Amino acid sequence: GAGEMIQMAGIAVKMGATKEQFDATCAVHPTMAEELVTMSKPVRVA
């Protein structure tokens, strides 16, 4: 959500990235944090 976007924008600003460089990035979804939450649920295969 917004947290990932804010982090990405903050890092880009801190490293002095240009708008062209920022536009060339690709945000990955779902994030690793989102996937770790789903790992706590057991999966049963019939």
Model pLDDT for residues 6-32, shown as the tens digit of each residue? 887 888 889 999 889 888 887 776 677
pLDDT at 16: 92
Q: Known catalytic residues? A: 29
Task: With cut-offs at 50, 70 and 90, classify the pLDDT of residue 1.
Answer: low
Task: With cut-offs at 50, 70 and 90, classify the pLDDT of residue 5.
Answer: confident
**Assigned token pair, 3:** 């947290």
Helix ranges (DSSP H) in the chain? 2-14, 19-23, 32-38
